[in-house]
């Protein structure tokens, strides 16, 4: 990495050489001392330094020079390098020039010629120290602003998250309250069948609340980093067999059939058993939930040298490109709706994505509008 540069500008070559030698003796180990004999040459050097990403903490310029005076040079440099500190040297007490440099070039210090070596060394030392202090401070504030912005965004997301959660909890809670009040006030006049029907609705609403609350707790655990999953060599096949049998029964009222296909006896992946069950349960239940009556769901299991792959394919309405872009977001409401009036929290696929990521796996969706949807989950293979 190239050293930062201290640039000296003076049209008198002897003074310029003297200034360079003094600064090189005092600061040469840590800084490159560059010189220019005119303001125009100095501007070219500054541009080259910036192109090469070399720092310019300090420029020391004479005031009286042909073509471009020192205060004008420092003004132009300040426009392109405002953080570079500027020192003005002059053999004449020119208060007007110093005032211009202070106002338009952010002048750090004025030193009269001939300069006193100790004073110049101390001034340059202090200027360099200030330059890097201000740089560190600017970096600190930039980092702080990023942290504040990130925290603000996080709080805004949490507020939105809570608002949606409260809204979604309000509906089933209101239903439970209304049905309970109906039984309380009208019980003596209700037929037993009517009471059972109202109780069924209360049970359905309470299940919806339980599902949403469970999802909210799951999301909170994921986002707070409290999920420490232990991964083991896990055979995926028995989990899928149980889930397919379970959802085959639940899908009968909709006339939906589930088919599981596989070739190997074992499909060992590096995974967590409870998390894997939750992921596959969500995908299969979604396929049942969104499939039209009388359709088929195909669950396929395969393995290669890197992954155990599970595919869940339905014959539903498929997803538009816009819906596919939103698939794994929080509280996502897609165009397709549950075909049997089932409840959806809008958190299932968001949780699936997070859980799969936590096991170093992958999940994706392939769908064409009107031609069904296939979710593909890949688990890292368990190495012996």
| pLDDT tens track for 174-210 | 878 888 888 888 888 888 888 898 888 888 788 777 8
* 264 & 370 share domain: yes
CATH code for the domain of 108: 3.40.50.2300
* 191 & 313 share domain: no
* 351 & 304 share domain: yes
* 303 & 374 share domain: yes
Structural domain includes residue 261: yes
Q: What is the mean predicted confidence (pLDDT) over 232-258?
A: 92
**196 vs 182: CA distance, rounded Å:** 12
Q: Which of 100-109, 146-155, 274-283, 365-374 has the lowest mean pLDDT?
A: 100-109
Q: Which of 218-222, 255-259, 320-324 has the lowest mean pLDDT?
A: 218-222
* Distance linking the first and last C-alpha atoms of the chain: 46
CATH code for the domain of 274: 3.30.565.10
What are the backbone angles phi and psi of residue 290, rounded to the nearest 5°?
-105, 0
* 45 & 15 share domain: yes
* 318 & 240 share domain: yes
On the question of pLDDT at 163 being above 70, the answer is no
**19 vs 105: CA distance, rounded Å:** 22
Structural domain includes residue 194: yes
Highest mean pLDDT among 61-70, 141-150, 195-204, 300-309 belongs to 300-309
Q: Within 13 Å and on the Cβ side, how many CA atoms surround 148?
A: 6
- What distance separates the 2 farthest-apart alpha carbons in the chain? 113
pLDDT at 57: 93
Structural domain includes residue 326: yes
Structural domain includes residue 136: no
> CB of 6 within 8 A of CB of 31?
yes
pLDDT at 110: 82
Structural domain includes residue 127: no
* 288 & 356 share domain: yes
Structural domain includes residue 346: yes
User: CA-CA distances (angstroms) from residue 187 to 172, 197, 206, 261?
Assistant: 21, 13, 20, 51
pLDDT at 167: 60
* 196 & 289 share domain: no
Question: What is the chain's mean pLDDT, rounded?
Answer: 85
Contacts 24+ apart (CB under 8 A), 236-239: 236/267, 236/268, 236/269, 236/271, 236/276, 236/280, 236/301, 236/308, 236/310, 236/379, 237/262, 237/264, 237/265, 237/266, 237/267, 237/301, 239/273, 239/276, 239/277, 239/280
Higher pLDDT, 206 or 164: 206
Q: What is the mean predicted confidence (pLDDT) over 52-77?
A: 90
Structural domain includes residue 124: no
On the question of pLDDT at 88 being above 60, the answer is yes
* 275 & 183 share domain: no
Among 223, 240, 266, the domain boundary falls at 223
* 200 & 66 share domain: no
Higher pLDDT, 131 or 228: 131
CA nearest neighbour of 318 among 340, 343, 291? 291
Structural domain includes residue 337: yes
Q: pLDDT band at 133, cuts 50/70/90?
A: very high
Among 95, 115, 135, the domain boundary falls at 115
Residue range(s) defining the domain that contains residue 32:
5-115
Burial degree of 271 (CB within 10 A; 0-12, 13-18, 19+): buried
Q: What is the mean predicted confidence (pLDDT) over 74-89?
A: 89
CATH code for the domain of 196: 1.10.287.130
**351 vs 329: CA distance, rounded Å:** 9
Among 115, 130, 163, the domain boundary falls at 115
* 366 & 322 share domain: yes
> CB of 297 within 8 A of CB of 282?
no
pLDDT at 98: 73
> CB of 320 within 8 A of CB of 246?
no
On the question of pLDDT at 93 being above 60, the answer is no
Tally the domains of the chain.
Answer: 3
**In terms of DSSP H, where are the helices of the chain?**
13-27, 39-51, 70-80, 95-105, 117-186, 192-223, 236-251, 273-290, 321-326, 348-358
* 198 & 253 share domain: no
Residues 249-294: tens digit of each pLDDT:
889 999 999 999 999 999 999 998 888 888 898 899 889 988 889 9
Is residue 310 within a helix (H) or strand (E), and if so which, with residue range? Answer: strand 307-313
Higher pLDDT, 241 or 93: 241
């Amino acid at each position: 990495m190239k050293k930062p540069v201290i640039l000296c500008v003076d049209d008198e070559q002897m003074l310029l050489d003297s200034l360079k030698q003094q600064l090189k003796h005092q600061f040469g180990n840590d800084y490159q001392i560059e010189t220019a004999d005119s303001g125009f040459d100095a501007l070219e050097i500054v541009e080259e330094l910036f192109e090469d990403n070399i720092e310019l903490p300090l420029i020391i310029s004479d005031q009286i020079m042909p073509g471009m005076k020192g205060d004008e040079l420092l003004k132009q440099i300040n426009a392109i390098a405002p953080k570079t500190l500027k020192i003005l040297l002059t053999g004449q007490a020119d208060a007007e020039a110093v005032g211009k440099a202070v106002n338009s070039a952010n002048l750090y210090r004025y030193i009269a010629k001939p300069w006193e070596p100790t004073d110049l060394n101390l001034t340059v030392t202090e200027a360099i120290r200030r330059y890097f202090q201000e740089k560190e401070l600017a970096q600190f504030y930039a980092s702080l602003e990023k942290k504040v912005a990130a925290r603000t965004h996080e709080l805004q997301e949490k507020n939105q998250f809570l608002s949606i959660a409260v809204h979604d909890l309000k509906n089933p809670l209101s239903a439970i309250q209304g049905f309970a009040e109906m039984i309380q006030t009208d019980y003596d006049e209700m037929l037993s069948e009517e009471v059972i029907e109202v109780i069924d609705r209360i049970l359905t609403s309470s299940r919806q609340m339980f599902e949403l609350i469970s999802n909210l707790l799951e999301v909170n655990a994921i986002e707070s980093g409290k999920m420490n999953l232990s991964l083991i060599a896990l055979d995926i096949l028995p989990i899928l067999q149980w889930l397919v049998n379970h959802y085959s029964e639940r899908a009968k009222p909709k006339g939906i059939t589930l088919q599981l296909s596989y070739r190997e006896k074992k499909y060992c992946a590096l995974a967590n058993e409870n998390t894997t069950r939750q992921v596959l349960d969500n995908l299969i239940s979604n396929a049942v939930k969104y499939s039209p009556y009388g359709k088929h769901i195909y669950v396929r299991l395969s393995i290669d040298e890197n992954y155990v792959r599970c595919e869940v394919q339905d014959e539903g309405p498929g997803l538009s490109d816009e819906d596919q872009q939103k698939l794994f977001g929080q509280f996502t409401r897609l165009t397709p709706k549950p075909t049997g009036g089932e409840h959806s929290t809008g958190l299932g696929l968001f949780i699936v994505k997070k859980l799969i990521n936590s096991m170093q796996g992958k999940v994706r969706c392939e769908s064409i509008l009107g031609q069904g949807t296939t979710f593909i989950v890949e688990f890292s293979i368990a190495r012996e």
